[in-house]
Amino acid sequence: MKKVSYLSSILIFIFLLTACKSKNTALTLPSDKSFVPLFEKRYGLLLNYSIDSMAMPRSLNGEDKIRKVTSPDWTSGFFAGNLWQIYRLTANPQYKQKAQQWTSFNKKESVNSHSHDVGFKVYCSFGEALKVENKQEYKEIIIKGAETLCGRFNEKVGSIRSWDFNKDIWEFPVIIDNMMNLELLFEASKLSGNQKYENIAIKHANTTLKNQFRKDNSCYHVLVYDTINGAVKKKTTLQGFNDDSAWARGQAWAVYGFTMSYRYTKNNAYIDQAEATANFFMSNKNLPKDGIPYWDFNDPSIPKSPRDASAAAVMASALYELYGYTQNKNYLQFADKIITSLSTEHYVLDSGIKAPFILDHSTGNWPKHDEIDEPIIYADYYFLEALLRKKAL
């Protein structure tokens, strides 16, 4: 992808204004004022992207062709979420109007029992909407989505089932990504007063905490369980380099998921694990100096391996929340470093690229050679969320 020749987003302007409040950062305002119109052009492309329920933007390939998906795709809620978050950053009502329209397309996903990603699809759209508009409709859709997700819970295993494919070899797979969907359950309990959703979220988190981490506090991507006795049958991967490697986005999902779970439960075991895995990530010998990881910490091709900006964005957002609970300045400083790096010409897309994305250099699924080193919608979502969390500190 072509890059900009400046620090090119008003988001970094917003970020730096808030960052300068802290004595723990050396960030300074850029001298080149041209980043303001470049921001407006970049985000205008999100605003002007044609509304189409059959064309939710997911990623952009090397030929600048947008990969478009429909609501059943696990990434479908992020674009609406991005618009809601930009509205909160800018107060421009046009983003709110477009966010409302895009969000409506995901309503039916609240009853889609064939996917474990109800949280991503429903909460990243309707959850963001609820932060702006206190509508009963949004609350009911979130609660309905939580009820649907609970249908995938197995009491014997103590977890929510992830994928339905590979049933011939994976009896009951649980992926680390599933920690992210627990926010839907926690929020549904708050909205409804029904503790069932929170109880299931806690059981899933406890099972993950018990089984999914290695001694070095990195996590496995996939665990396969026996539904008869609840035992772990296999520890494996689908998106990492190999079964024993540390897939970068998986580590970020873990830190984010357990920090978020601590928010609702105040269970110290959750925050301890979040800190331990965050430290694994931040101190890893294969982490580049700019804080943006290679797609897998154990890829033998490093330093020629592709980066994953999405893993960095998820980690930055998680670390801002983790800092809020621990007051550990290392987390704040590392999150600041990530956001500073992602806000440079190396990662922000050129305003001339006519596509509704912010960041380049994310890696989706390396083993399947799918979405490698390109803009992916969820990187933008967690980047925006990180900016909002930084601003709120």
Q: DSSP label at 87?
A: H
Q: Do residues 264 and 197 lie in contact, with contact meaning Cβ atoms separated by under 8 Å? A: no
Cite the beta strand spans of the chain per DSSP E. 56-60, 66-69, 153-154, 159-160, 173-175, 222-225, 232-236
Is residue 32 annotated as part of the catalytic site, yes or no? no
- Taking the CA atoms of residue 319, residue 322, residue 324 and residue 330 in that order, the dihedral angle to the nearest 10 degrees is -60
Is residue 117 annotated as part of the catalytic site, yes or no? yes
Going from the C-alpha of 72 to that of each of 36, 60, 69, 110, the distances in angstroms are 36, 19, 8, 10
Q: DSSP label at 65?
A: P
The active-site residue, picked from 32, 64, 73, 117, is 117
Q: Do residues 160 and 204 lie in contact, with contact meaning Cβ atoms separated by under 8 Å? A: yes
The active-site residue, picked from 32, 73, 168, 177, is 177
The beta-carbon contacts of 323-329 under 8 Å, at least 24 apart in sequence, are 323/393, 324/393, 325/259, 325/262, 325/263, 325/271, 326/271, 326/275, 328/275, 329/24
- For residue 277, the Cα-to-chain-centroid distance in whole angstroms is 16
The token duo for 388 is 């909002």
The token duo for 308 is 């994953």
Return the active site residues.
Answer: 117, 177
